[in-house]
Chains A and B, each alone.
Chain A
Amino acid sequence: MAKRILIIEDDQFLRELISKKLTAKDYEVIQAGDGEEGFEKVKKEKPDLLLLDLMLPGIDGFKVLEKIKADSEIAKTPVIILSNLGQKEDIDKGMNLGAQDFLIKAHFTPNQIIEKVNITLS
């Protein structure tokens, strides 16, 4: 069965690009455009992995991550942060909250992101 990946990203174009790439690699993609919707979808859809943006309307990505880790039902969902924040403090904060990886969007190509997804899922 195809692995299911949830993307929480408020920029529709970025979401579209990465979805296309993931779909081409036989992943099933679920999308959310803000933190609230994203958290609801993690609970409902139980994805195999979450690609999480940080600067989001409403509750931000850090908060989403915190909520996921505090909810025993979904706490084990692997989370890769995919954001354009990227100061050491942000990275440390994300990793300390339990993210598997922290990728700066502008520093990674779609293929490199897929590679990280593959590694995290294997």
Chain B
Amino acid sequence: MTKEKNIITNFIDGILFLDEKEELVLVNKKAEKFLNTSKKNILGKNLEELKKTGPLKEMLTNFSKKEVTINGKTIEASFINKKGLLIILRDITKEKMVKQMRNEFVSIVAHQLRTPISSIKWTLKMFLEESFGKINKEQEKYLEKVYTVNEKMVELINDLLNISRIEEGRYVYKPTATNLASLIEENIKQFKEKAKEKEINISFKKEGSCLEAVVDPEKIKLVLQNLIDNAIKYNDKGGSILIKLTSDKKNLTVSVKDTGLGIPKEQQKKIFSKFFRAKNVMKSDSEGSGLGLYINKEIIKAHKGKIWFQSVENKGTTFFFSLPLAKK
């Protein structure tokens, strides 16, 4: 036995190889074990036969990375299509379990945190409403400040809950045909006060006839909220925000353009990573959690859409996202 053959036979992952004639010519021990079969049952068969029956049927419907459950184990199959088809099977049961436990943990912690945070919120508000007697101006000022800080905590917990749901893969809920224009208008209304404080003008333009997409409206609302909130937060005083909604034959595209800080070129790659915050933004504002854009990316991905941006430091940023149009 050659060295190579030895390695393949005893490899920790399952390996299968179909040659250029699409005939299965190699199955290692681990693959036999994962598929709960014996070499002699599948070796020598061609792709069409394997697709029809047998343990590989489910796996071979298309050649994109996928997870299949066999005998209670979660097996991840990857495909390399180069001078034949190489299939690599990896047992990810443990990984999945750890991930699930982590998500459950985050979710429990976040829910548990909401109770004390609610009591802080309610107590502060009742002080401010003078339910416990008169307060003076200075007391009011500080209580207002603590209240704002506590509200940030509420938001952070919401973000953490959102993320744990996203990572469990059960986030998008009951998609329905939704008019994006009304969703945007509704959102702009919510940010009116906040924009006014910084003297920022928000305008909205829409073009195209069909402006409906099949989405989970709550989640797309959250995407818009995150983008508009950022566009205000990282804009200059007196700046502007332009929101555009356009459509072509296949997609709806929303863009949110600001005239603010921009994203430093060397950090643009990381902008959608969890907890990432650009350097210039960290200097100007200490409040963000670095979760908004990550949540946005995951939401848009779950809707089979795309999200991207263009940015020049000190000039501004435009975020875009596109979603498949609702089919009529």
Contacts and interface: CB of A to CB of B under 8 A. Distances in A.
B115 interface: yes
Interface of A is mostly: helix
Interface of A: 11, 13-14, 17-18, 20-21, 24, 55, 84-85, 87-89, 104-107, 109-111
Q: How large is the interface on B (under 10, 10 to 19, 20 to 34, 35 or more residues)?
A: 20 to 34
B11 interface: no
Given A24-B131, A89-B173, A106-B154, A14 B118 contact: yes
B169 to A, nearest CB: 14
A14 B161 CA distance: 22
Given A105-B115, A105-B118, A106-B121, A17 B165 contact: no
A68 B177 CA distance: 35
A13 B118 CA distance: 10
Interface string B122-165: 11011001010000000000000000000000100100010001
Given A109-B121, A110-B126, 10 more contacts: A11-B115, A14-B119, A14-B122, A17-B123, A21-B126, A88-B173, A105-B114, A106-B157, A109-B122, A111-B125
3 residue pairs, one from A and one from B, having the closest CB atoms: A84-B114, A105-B118, A109-B125
Contacts of B271: none
B134 to A, nearest CB: 15
Contacts, number: 50
A59 to B, nearest CB: 19
Given A14-B118, A106-B117, A107-B154, A84 B125 contact: no
B111 interface: yes
A20 B125 CA distance: 13
A41 to B, nearest CB: 22
Contacts of A109: 121-122, 125
Given A87-B165, A88-B218, A111-B129, A17 B122 contact: yes
